Structures are given as structure tokens and as C-alpha cells.
Amino acid sequence: MKNKDDYSKENDNSKEDEGKFNLVKEVLEMLVYFVAIIIIFLLLPHFVGQHIEVKGSSMENTLSNKDHLILEKITYRFKEPKRFEIVVFRPYDKEEETYYIKRVIGLPGEKIQIKDGEVYINDEAIEDIYGSDIIANPGIASSEIQLDEDEYFLIGDNRNNSTDSRSAKIGPVKRKAIVGRAWARIWPVKEIEILAH
């Protein structure tokens, strides 16, 4: 038969065990929480989206120097870029940290040419409501360019102040070089807007 001292010792032991269990549980929950936060912060910019800042005037009047944007990376995992979408791409394979922002003009398989200041796709002039000026320098597109099945022709909205697919250094852009699309402008506050439709 157990005496009162035995019962109190058992109660003390069970309370002590329960306290240790709760402490271990809390520590494990905190570890899981911190690991989840670290994974989110590592994966979000790589696979989902990230904040970017526009540098330069090549996309004026649509985007200005020092505009802050959200670059969205999910959509192009499921569908291909469309004409007139604003995309971010790596112009040079070896320079991973160099990114450009331009507008999609030519799509895979199309023929592109710039003549008399206008863009022709498959021998027809396109209605270009985004370009700020008539194109003065067609660059490599002065002769017809046949895009491959994984190539896009990208041009800045500031047509006469943009290094883009018209430059021999860049040329048609491979699909794999396109990182994502400009989804929204978040700064300056008075110009907040959704860019992707």
C-alpha cells in the first residue's frame, strides 16, 4: 500500500516530466518556425517574386528611374510571355546579377523588322501604343530577323534611349533568360499600379 509521500513524489515526477515535455515541445515549435521563415525568405525571391528598382530611363514614359516594382516569377512557369508584357531578363549569360526590363514586341517564330520608324511583324506594321517616339535607330532589325521557337524580341518604351534586342550585343532574347514579369509598381506611392493584366 502506497503512503502519501509516494503519491506526492509521483505527482512531482509527473509534473516535472510534463514541464520538460512542454519545454521540448516549445523549443521544437520555435525551431520549425525559424526554419520555415528562413526557407520562405530563401525561396520567395528565387521562385515567387521579388522587389526590384528601375535604373535608367529606357522604359519611360511607362516606368521611370527609381520606380520600385514587384517582379513576379510564377506565371511564366505555366504560360509563355505575351506581346506587350513588361519582362525582366538577363541579357548576358555570364553576368547573373545584370538584369534589364523591357517590353515584349516579337514572339517566337515571328519575323521582325523595323523600317521607317515602325515595327513590322510578319510584314505587317503593329499598332504600338507604348513607344514614346518613332524609332530612329532600328539597329540589327533594319534587316528582317527570324525569331527561333524560343526567342523574343524586346524593346524599351523609350524607343530612342534603350539598349535592347536591336543591339547586336543583346539581340533576340532566349526564353530561359526571361526571369519574370513586372507585376506592379509599388513606389512612388502616388503612382502605385498593377502593370500585368
Model pLDDT for residues 57-97, shown as the tens digit of each residue: 999 989 999 999 989 888 998 999 999 999 999 887 766 67
The pTM is what?
0.76
User: How confident is the model at residue 89, as a pLDDT?
Assistant: 94
| Tens digit of each residue's pLDDT (9 = 90 or more) over 148-166 | 999 999 999 999 999 999 9
Active-site residues, by number, are 58, 102
β-bridge mates for residue 155, sequence order: 103
Residue at grid coordinates 517582379: 71
Percent of the chain clearing pLDDT 90 (strictly above): 53
C-beta separation of 153 from 128 below 8 A: no
Secondary structure class of 71 (helix, strand, coil): strand
User: What is the rounded CA–CA span in Å between residue 116 and residue 167?
Assistant: 18
Higher per-residue pLDDT: 21 or 179: 179
Cβ-based neighbours of 20, under 8 Å, separated by 6 or more: none
Average confidence (pLDDT) over 83-112: 89
2-23 per-position pLDDT tens digit = 555 554 555 555 666 666 667 7
Place 50 in a pLDDT band, splitting at 50, 70 and 90: confident
Confidence of residue 52 (pLDDT cuts 50, 70, 90): confident
* Residue whose cell numbers read 520549425: 32
pLDDT at 135: 94
- Residue whose cell numbers read 524586346: 154
